[in-house]
Structure 1
Amino acid sequence: MSPRGPVGRRHQDRIDGRRVVWWSAGEGPMVLFLHGWALSPASYRQALEQVAERGARVVAPALPGFGGSDELPAAETTLEGYARWVARFLEMRDESMPVTVVGHSFGGGVAVRLAHDAPQAVARLVLVNSIGGAVWAAGPDGPRLMAERPWWDWGLHLRADLDPGRAPGRVLPVIVSDAATNALRNPLAVWKVAEIARTADLRAELEELRRRGLPVVVLWGRQDRVIPQASLAALRLALGDVDVRTVEGSHSWLMTDPSAFTEILTNVLARGPLIDGPIPDGEPPTADDTVPS
């Protein structure tokens, strides 16, 4: 890792007396990035740097309990509590709201709750292989929920997702080191957030966002073994006629192929405030276009 940290400049402050660490890079309209379970912005460095280079000011906080940020009080360790924390983070920074919010995996769930609970904060939502669809698989008596999924099954698929054959050699050690550091630093927080992610059902919140007309885009790696296709289908059903872009890749595709992530995110947001001027790589793809990894 570079001495300057995961991406751009490192910052530190306090929210409600607890330490918060975040990074920022680039100039332009703000994109707030919320990372996934057990990780921190460190795992996403290449992707975030490339997005910043394409005309955005990327702000990436380490969510409570990860990456050096203090964990939330026990009563606040919920998706609602994390969303309130992010809203306070934006207020602390005196950001001009609303902003574009991009959330990966667990961070996508936090982003959904933020958009639902603090609509004044979110102009556009980009969900990347996000939790919240809640459906694990079809069953004879109806859908089986993710909360029913055994822990051992989660573990097997997470391991397969991080198989060295899928992840470039320079990327996998960063992800593993980041997760291991967070697990050693705060194992209880890692476990609590894993349980929140496993049981998250945000279909009602997503339906409400659809009724409000909030712009939502879903980006999805089609070979995701951590969050199954049934959960993506549930997300799409809750959101209605939503813009979905699929890519060849796993749950961690934006880390293993940051160029593909940057290209599709830039094109998706070109219709909004991210890019001022022509799009470097041509016209935005249409819904459900596939970006090769």
Structure 2
Amino acid sequence: MSNTQIIPIVMPKWGLEMREGTVQDWLVKEGERIAVGQAIVDVETDKISNAVEAADAGLLRRIVGQSGELLPVKSLLAVMAEPEVADADIDAYIAAFEVPDAGADDEDSGPAFDHAEVDGIRVRFARRGPDEGVPVLFIHGFGGDLNNWLFNLDAVAERHPVIALDLPGHGGSDARLPGTSLPALAGFVARFLDQAGVPGRLHMVGHSMGGAIALQLALDAPGRVASLALVSPAGLGQEINTGYTDGFVQAQSRRELKPVLEQLFADPALVSRQMVDDMLKYKRLDGIEPLLGELGAALFAAGRQSTVLAERLQALDKPLLVFWGEDDQVIPAAQAANAGPQAEVIRFAGTGHMAMLEKAGEVNAALLKHLARAG
């Protein structure tokens, strides 16, 4: 029997640093027919949990990865095959399956991260996807880094060149700021693009503070921006939960930080111990806490956003897609209405401030359609 009739389901690689994942709960049973895009198994990484979605349709014949197993990326999780495929052929396929060398694969695709120096600030960034086409730039939010897009970058990079950066004072970039206003941050991103060899038009995807930066750049340099896709963006209204931003800056321990991070998600169980530990490690870097305090005070003082761009959006002749979680505890979902009549707005029930993580499949599908229309 030919192995082409047997379809493997493997441990995905989410993000640039994932090496392994833990199988949690199977959402389907052996003997069940699976549709493309169907959630089939929950997997926990050291960043967050997510559901693996079926890339192919078929009949689930054998579950290989059992709940609780920690498995390397590309390990065999399950096998799909039609009824006429003999059990013995499936047994032989599983026995012969070898996990590809993930390290060699990474080497072929180049280093996970690159760096550029902009205004004397060293910026960490990543590239993925084809060389041709209009690039897509991902900008994270306050206190985040490019790993906030771990479920989105590879999905978009299948069709478009992708760039994601760590803003100054975030992630692997230097703990220095080019200024604390939206125009200063947007100007820095524009100069980063020049330094990274992206001088022309690009699509911009921004989350929270990163969404406001993307909006500001589109308003300041409209010729550079082909389209905008924003996830719970700042910049569309005055209200913001500074209990979150201030709490994030001030938290000194796991006990203090965990309830702050839980405000990001509709399901607080998504905040893993590793996520808390990673955030504490970042906050304890020299200069980070005062830098975040300065940035938060400038942009989000006294429970209000200092810069609201909504009234200027009528002059923005760009395709605009906005995602918002109905249960966003950081920036109210009602501000989506301020995106204007030209915007396509998608609101998710049971979702908080991190829709790109909480509803990754839906966000990716809508984002790819938006990018295809925008050209």
Summarize deviations over 1:76-125 as a string: whole Å, max 9, x none: 22211110110001111221421100000110011111111122221111
Quote the residue 1:182 is aligned against.
Answer: 282
Judge conservation of contact 1:218–1:245 (CA < 8 Å) in 2: yes
Whole-Å separation in 2 of the counterparts to 1:172 and 1:264: 27
Matched ranges for 1:211-250 at <5 A: 211-233=315-337, 235-236=338-339, 239-248=340-349, 249-250=351-352
Q: Which amino acid aligns with 2:322?
A: V
Instruction: Name the structure where helix makes up a greater proportion of residues.
Output: 1
More off after superposition, 102-111 vs 255-264: 255-264
* Higher radius of gyration, 1 or 2: 2
Summarize deviations over 1:30-75 as a string: whole Å, max 9, x none: 100000110101232122222223x12110010000012124447x
Whole-Å separation in 2 of the counterparts to 1:153 and 1:182: 15
Quote the residue 1:29 is aligned against.
Answer: 134
Distance 1:127 1:184, change over 3 A: same
Displacement of 1:180: 2.6
The alignment yields a C-alpha RMSD, in angstroms, of 2.9
Quote the residue 2:118 is aligned against.
Answer: 15
Query: How many positions carry a matched residue from both structures?
Result: 252
Q: Which amino acid aligns with 1:257?
A: K
Distance 1:59 1:135, change over 3 A: same
For the residue of structure 2 that corresponds to 1:46, the secondary structure is coil
With a CA cutoff of 8 Å and minimum separation of 6, indicate the structure with the bigger relative contact order.
1
Quote the residue 1:48 is aligned against.
Answer: 153
Quote the residue 1:151 is aligned against.
Answer: 243
For the residue of structure 2 that corresponds to 1:270, the secondary structure is helix
Summarize deviations over 1:247-275 as a string: whole Å, max 9, x none: 231111212332222112112222122xx
Structure 2: gaps spanning 5 or more residues: 1-16, 20-105, 248-258
Matched ranges for 1:130-145 at <5 A: 130-136=233-239
Whole-Å separation in 1 of the counterparts to 2:266 and 2:333: 19
Q: Which amino acid aligns with 1:184?
A: R
Displacement of 1:196: 3.9
Judge conservation of contact 1:162–1:172 (CA < 8 Å) in 2: no
Whole-Å separation in 1 of the counterparts to 2:189 and 2:111: 20
More off after superposition, 95-104 vs 157-166: 157-166
Judge conservation of contact 1:40–1:178 (CA < 8 Å) in 2: no
Displacement of 1:17: 1.9
Quote the residue 1:258 is aligned against.
Answer: 360
Residues 1:61 and 2:165 aligned together: yes
Whole-Å separation in 1 of the counterparts to 2:152 and 2:358: 9
Displacement of 1:160: 3.3
Distance 1:227 1:200, change over 3 A: same
Quote the residue 1:2 is aligned against.
Answer: 18
TM-score, L = length of structure 1: 0.75
Residues 1:120 and 2:217 aligned together: no
Residues 1:200 and 2:216 aligned together: no
Whole-Å separation in 1 of the counterparts to 2:274 and 2:150: 10
Quote the residue 2:200 is aligned against.
Answer: 97
Whole-Å separation in 2 of the counterparts to 1:93 and 1:161: 31
Displacement of 1:159: 3.0
Structure 1: gaps spanning 5 or more residues: 137-145, 274-293
Distance 1:173 1:97, change over 3 A: farther
